[in-house]
Amino acid sequence: MLIDDDPDFLLQQKSQFEAAGYAVTTADGSKLARTVLNQTSPDLVVMDLMMGEMDAGIVLSREIKQKNPGLPIIMVTGVTRETGMSFDDNTAESRRWLNVDEVIAKPVRFDQLKGAVEGLLARQCGQAGPGGPV
Amino acid sequence: VSLTREELNVLVVDDENVLCQGVRRVLEPLTVEVPEHGAQAVFRIRAVGSGEECLRQLSVQAPDVLLLDHKLPGMTGLELLNRIFSPQQSLLVVMITAYANLDTAVRATKLGAYDFLAKPFTPDELRGVMRKAATHVVLSRRTRKLEAEKRQIRFEFLSVLAHELKAPLNAVEGYMDILHERLGGEELGMVERSSARLGGMKKLIYDLLDLTRIESGAKRRELKLIDLAPLLRGAVEVVARDAQQRRIRVELEVPGPVPLHADAGEMEIIFNNLLSNAVKYNRDEGRVLARLRRDGDRVSLEVEDTGIGLTAEEMGKLFREFVRIRNDETANILGSGLGLSTVKKLARLYGGDAVVRSTAGVGSTFVVTLCDGVPEAPQGAGRAGGSYAASPGD
């Protein structure tokens, strides 16, 4: 599932993930994201940190992790470029602080994002142990 | 209406102590009102006894008005005027001459003196000349301030524009990349061409942002001792692909570490611009030679190409903003016309310069010299901006 308020980013990543064989749902904001999350059960979420309101991304990632702690989240953010704040670094601390499993700075290349998605999904399968989905 | 009090610094250059004291007695109590500019000028007087001392003073604190006697021990007033005058500066020179020697006054005016006072002069004559000078100084201060504000608005406008253009361009570029992967045949060529044009537009925007940041002094400079050699090698990497495609050899002559107090980002802008030009404007299977070395207190970078070269006329305007040399050979080369003007501005920021030697059809050599950057004084950023403003047509 892709959550971002930039429609171009959504369309481009959706198109490329679908071409790579993924089933993709999208939401262009937190409100729609909550509805979609209730109706579908994605295996992984890619979301933007800053959507409309400054803290929309953080609030949403916290909510998702409370309801479904096992659902991996990748936070994609241009926040350093836009505000000069720095939590673009993919460090354990910023991941914990943002309640996500991976942090990637915008602009992001598709293969980079795909690599992160594959990595997290593989880890997920590994944790599921023998007999889990492969 | 209350008037703003403005101080004018006056430097008297005369070996006759009596005259210096007389000037002090007349000017220190004097107030010149310039109501149309809301100002009230008062005078601060300093005095020196010779041209040599005057030169030293000028380098310490530049006065607004120089009261200069022609007859001095050592260097004469005219000789001094000849050495200090430049059209850009705002210093007003009032020449003091003997009545019998009007010729000196005429020559002084030709050398750029603002006015003259014939000896012996009365306190009223001195006040009259200084009233005129004070009005002039206040007016030119106002003009400078307005120009700085105008420049600032221009920078802000360009900077906002460039930032706003970046996001949609990135979006279009993303779609182009996807199309590039999926299309074939004639359409693929069109997408490639669109991407190339888009790349050119992005380069223009980034160049504009570089330029406005440097010119406005808004870019935070980090001056520290760095080795330029690896930065130059990095710039070679950047152009390597384009060079390879056209079988252009890029060679480096770097004697070892080349340390300089500089901002790494600014050095990269210089290196990238010169190397990418040397590849862009080269012939296929040509050669680029970059020599980096330290010459005493300065560093020089020479970038030599075997390209299309330049005519004398083209060389004259090459370093101006938005100038691109247009002819049959450059028709298909993309560029913003900002790279070299930025390189020159940066070189000047380091007390150096950027020049070109070239023979049409044979090749060009760009030479950039740089001195150690000095950390700026508190008003440094503003000053850097101001010095550009003094020569907008460079």
pLDDT tens, B149-192?
A: 887 787 778 878 887 888 888 889 899 989 998 988 888 989 98
pLDDT at B393 over 90: no
- The band of B385, judged by pLDDT with boundaries at 50, 70 and 90, is very low
Average pLDDT over residues B367-391: 54
pLDDT at B381 exceeding the cut of 70: no
- pLDDT over threshold 50, residue B388: no
> B34 versus A88: which is more confidently predicted?
B34
What is the pLDDT at residue B99?
Answer: 67
Q: In chain B, whose CA is at the least distance from the CA of A14?
A: B178
Range among A110-124, B302-316, B333-347 rated most confident = A110-124
Residue B361: predicted pLDDT: 81
B43-81, pLDDT tens digit by residue? 999 999 999 999 888 888 889 999 999 888 888 888 888
The shortest C-alpha distance from B279 to chain A (Å) reads 27
Q: Which of A5, A8, A50 to mutate to test the interface with B (most CBs of B within 10 A)?
A: A8
H or E segment to which residue B12 belongs: strand B4-13
Closest Cβ–Cβ partner in B171, B177, B182 for A8: B171
CB B41 within 8 A of CB B127: no
Q: ipTM for the complex? A: 0.73
What average pLDDT does range A50-79 have in this prediction? 85
For residue B78, give the H/E element and its range.
helix B77-84
Q: Which residues of A touch B182 (CB under 8 A)?
A: 19
Which of chain B's residues have a Cβ under 8 Å away from the Cβ of A16?
178
* Residue of B172, B176, B178 to mutate when probing chain A, most A C-beta within 10 A: B178
Burial per residue of B343-374, b for 16 or more beta-carbon CB atoms within 10 angstroms, e otherwise:
bbbbbbbbebebeeebeeeebbbbbbbbbebe
**pLDDT tens, position by position, B220-275:** 678 889 999 999 998 888 888 889 889 999 999 998 899 999 988 889 889 999 99
Could you tell me which chain B residue has the CA closest to the CA of A82?
B163
CB B283 within 8 A of CB B308: yes
Q: Confidence band (pLDDT; 50, 70, 90) for B104? A: confident
**Which residues in chain A touch residue B176, judged by CB atoms under 8 angstroms apart?**
none
pLDDT tops 70 at residue B292: yes
Q: B31 at the A interface (CB within 8 A)?
A: no
Q: Looking at residue B139, what is its pLDDT? A: 92
Question: Alpha carbon of B230 to those of B181, B208, B254, B271, B277: distances in Å?
Answer: 35, 26, 10, 11, 20
Contact A9 B175 (CB under 8 A): no
Query: Is residue A131 very low, low, confident or very high in pLDDT (cuts 50, 70, 90)?
Result: very low
User: Which residues from chain B sit within 8 angstroms of residue A12, using beta carbons?
Assistant: 171, 174-175, 178
